[in-house]
Chain A
Amino acid sequence: MSEDMIVLGIETSCDETAAACVRGGTQVLSSVVSSQVDLHSEYGGVVPEIASREHGERMIPVVARAMVEAGLDGSNIDAVAATVGPGLIGALLVGVSTAKALALTWDVPFVAVNHLEAHLYASFLEDPHLEFPLVVLLVSGGHTMLVLMEGHGRYRILGETLDDAAGEAFDKVARYLGLGYPGGPAIDRLSMSGDPEAIRFPRSMLDEGLEFSFSGLKTSVVNYVRKHPDVSTEDVAASFQAAVVDVLVHKVRRAAREHGAKAAAIGGGVAANSLLREQFLGACADDGLAGFVPSRSMCTDNAAMIASAGWYEFQRVGAAEMSTGATPNLRIRTL
């Protein structure tokens, strides 16, 4: 198959129904994301059954729009890639079943994509010349991990969170502060008018290894607000955000130093956070690392990164079996 093959990517692992057409792993012809966030916000988190039902309703309209926006029809598609895990089982199954049926009907390969690996590839989509070894900080509502990429498809997990994911901490603190769901954008916005040095929240495990822990920080925020009911919410948000970002950036630097990385990148929904983006790039510049921050729409869940990761997967590994199912707890394939 030629290098400039066009992959239709499909993503349904959580609460975004997405489809995208990408040529040659890097040229985004279309990227459509239909977010269900409004449906889940009243519950303060993603309700799996609602998500699964919505994916079923939105999937084909989203695919159809991605095809129209790219100006393509089925005869132009060279492969169909879909997220097979990790994620919500009912949600994943809609995307996997749709993708396999499209591949079967169009008589093209089906490519199975790991959602976490796709987040790593979001950076390559926008900068295909990133140098290895590359340290990627993957931060979202479900994951917080440092991954060393030694080459395409060659991953080593350097550290993960021992309790809450960073995005989960944002959601929980936002809920406690009455800022609604999702918490990340709300805290980001509020922090703009707060003082990040107003309260010194703890930086858990700052000088220990490459693991993360955020549940203690969340508890500190709750305790502080209980003791100081008149504190400015803006200051709490800004100080909390500063503590999270401090730890994340600190560990990226250490990981890059310890593993001789040439470049560093971030990915996942929390990588859309303004302070993290700024501090991460600043730290990379200080340490002489080539730092890369994908555009915000490439950090949050989307199907362009699935199509891109699918292209690399197909070049390296090939097609997946038609009997492939969904794997809710799929891990990154490490060395």
Chain B
Amino acid sequence: MLILGIETATVQAGCALGGHEGVLASAHCSKGRRHAENLTPAIEFICAQAQVDLSEIGLVAVDTGPGLFTGLRVGIAAAKAIAYALRVPMIGVSSLDLLAFPVRFSQRLIVPAIDARRGEIFSAMYRQVPGGVQRLSEPTVGSAEDLATELMARSEEVLLVGDGALRYKDVFDSLDKVERVDVGNSYPSAVSLVQLAHAKALREEFVQIDQIHPAYLRKPDAEINWQVRDVH
């Protein structure tokens, strides 16, 4: 089964095409935050490069976040539209899973951290398991300092990955036993998405379009203000 993966959870927007033969083509751009402008031409491009017609796609995988709201909406809207037009099922994968997956060969506690803006990061904890990674905690949003405190309390070797780890490197670099993955791997990739979706597809973990929802992890602004008003 041929899988189209769409990934737009951070400043990077990407897409990839693959299946049982592995990833056939991919394109990523992390400059300019032009998700809506870049995504459709990128899909067109990878299909042409791999000589695949979109009608051959049997599954659409999408990164459902957490991440930048605007990017997520663009990617998820496009992914749903393609799945609808092709009448094929979907698979949603967390952006944090996508960051942990490429560093799965590490024995350490794997902690992806995505820049959530407003001084916060999205994060969760993972551990290596045969064939991939397993998530140990619910994805959360909080300050880098809070995550640093939590990591220190665990007192074990940690591998941090993601643009959140990079942005708050001053907070994390001072910690013992914590190492950061370098710049080149700081965004979730559509390549990992296709790989992970393929594994899920073999287990038939498909969902329908209406079951794909972005993981915002934050209430919309107006609601937050409303609650604050009620408290005071």
CB neighbors of B among A56-82 (8 A)? 56-57, 59-61, 63-64, 74
In contact, A104 and B43 (Cβ under 8 angstroms): yes
Compute how far the CA of A47 lies from the CA of B40 in the bound complex, rounded to whole angstroms: 28
User: Given the known A-B contacts A47-B222, A49-B221, A104-B43, are A90 and B37 also in contact in the complex, defined by CB atoms under 8 Å?
Assistant: no
Chain B, residues 43-83, CB within 8 Å of chain A (1/0): the string is 11000000000110000000000000110011111111110
Q: Please, which residues of chain A bring their CB within 8 A of the CB of B81? A: 59-60, 63, 97-99, 101-102, 105
Q: Is A323 an interface residue (CB 8 A)?
A: yes
CB-based contact A97/B54 at 8 Å:
no
B209–A60 touching, CB < 8 Å: yes
Given contacts A49-B220, A104-B54, A322-B40, contact A94 B84 (CB under 8 A): no
Question: For residue A106, which residue of chain B has the nearest CB?
Answer: B85
Contact B82 A105 (CB under 8 A): yes
Instruction: Encode A294-307 as 1/0 by CB contact (under 8 A) with B.
Output: 00000000000000
- Of the residues A64, A74, A93, contact of B77 by C-beta under 8 Å: A93
Question: Are A94 and B40 closer than 8 Å at their CB atoms?
Answer: no
A89 engages B84 (CB within 8 Å): no
Is B222 within 8 A of A43, CB to CB?
yes
Give the size of the chain A interface in residues (CB under 8 angstroms): 36
Tell me whether A325 is interfacial, beta carbon within 8 Å: yes
* Shortest distance between the CB of B213 and any CB in chain A (Å): 7
Question: Across the interface, which residues of B come within 8 angstroms of A50, CB to CB?
Answer: 220, 222-223
8 A Cβ contacts from A31-70 to B: 43, 47, 49-50, 52-53, 55-57, 59-61, 63-64
> Does B181 lie at the interface of the complex (its beta carbon under 8 Å from any beta carbon of A)?
no
CA A10 to CA B69, docked complex, whole Å: 21
Verify A101–B70 contact, CB threshold 8 A: no
Q: Which residues of A contact B82 (CB under 8 A)?
A: 101-102, 104-105
Query: Known: A59-B77, A97-B73, A97-B78. Contact between A53 and B216, CB under 8 A?
Result: yes
Residues A53 and B77 in contact, CB atoms below 8 Å apart: no
CB distance from A57 to the nearest CB of B (A): 7
Tell yes or no: B140 within 8 A of A by CB: no
Query: How many angstroms between the C-alpha atoms of A86 and B41 in the bound complex?
Result: 23
B134 at the interface (CB under 8 A from A): no
| Complex interface: chain A residues within 8 A of B40 (CB) | 97, 100-101, 104, 322-323
Please name all residues of chain A whose beta carbon is closer than 8 Å to the beta carbon of B69 when the two chains form the complex: 49, 52, 90
Task: State whether the Cβ of B36 lies closer than 8 Å to any Cβ in chain A.
Answer: yes
User: A324 touching B37 by the CB < 8 A rule?
Assistant: yes
Q: Smallest distance from the beta carbon of A52 to chain B beta carbons, Å?
A: 6
**Which residues of B have CB within 8 Å of A49?**
69, 220-222
Judged by DSSP, the binding face of A is helix
Type the 1/0 row for A98-139, where 1 means its CB is closer than 8 Å to any CB of B.
Answer: 111110111100000000000000000000000000000000
Total residues of chain B contacting the partner, CB 8 A: 37
Given A322-B44, A325-B36, answer yes or no on A101-B85 (Cβ-Cβ < 8 Å): yes
Query: Quick one: which of B55, B76, B80 has the most chain A CB within 10 A?
Result: B80
Chief secondary structure at chain B's binding surface: helix
Is A326 interfacial (CB 8 A cutoff)? yes
Is the CB of B204 closer than 8 A to any CB of chain A?
no
A96 within 8 A of B: yes
> Within 8 Å CB of B165, what residues of A?
none
Minimal Cβ-Cβ distance residue in A for B71? A93
Across-interface contacts of B77 in A (CB, < 8 A): 56, 59, 93-95, 97-98, 101
In the complex, chain B residues whose CB is within 8 Å of the CB of A93? 35-36, 70, 73-74, 77
The proximity string for B residues 17-45 relative to A, scoring 1 for CB distances below 8 Å and 0 otherwise, is 00000000000000000111111110110
Whether A60 contacts B222 by the Cβ 8 Å rule is no
- Is B84 a contact partner of A60 (Cβ separation < 8 A)? yes
Bound complex: CA A5 to CA B79 (Å): 26
**CB contact under 8 A between A325 and B76, given known A104-B54, A105-B82:** no
CB distance from A73 to the nearest CB of B (A): 9
**Which residue of chain A has its CB nearest to the CB of B224?**
A49
Residue in B closest to A42 when the chains form the complex, CB atoms: B226
Docked Cα-Cα span, A106 to B70, in Å, equals 25
C-alpha spacing A98/B39, complex, angstroms: 11
How many whole Å from A328's CB to the nearest CB in chain B? 12
Can you name 12 A-B residue pairings with CB atoms under 8 Å? A53-B73, A53-B216, A55-B73, A56-B76, A60-B84, A95-B77, A97-B36, A98-B77, A99-B81, A322-B44, A325-B34, A325-B36
Given contacts A59-B81, A105-B86, A107-B54, 17 further A-B contacts (CB under 8 A): A49-B69, A52-B69, A53-B73, A55-B73, A56-B73, A56-B214, A60-B81, A93-B73, A94-B77, A95-B77, A102-B84, A104-B82, A322-B44, A323-B38, A324-B37, A325-B34, A325-B37
Q: Give the 8 A-B CB pairs with smallest separation, nearest first.
A: A101-B81, A49-B220, A105-B85, A47-B222, A97-B77, A101-B78, A325-B37, A100-B40
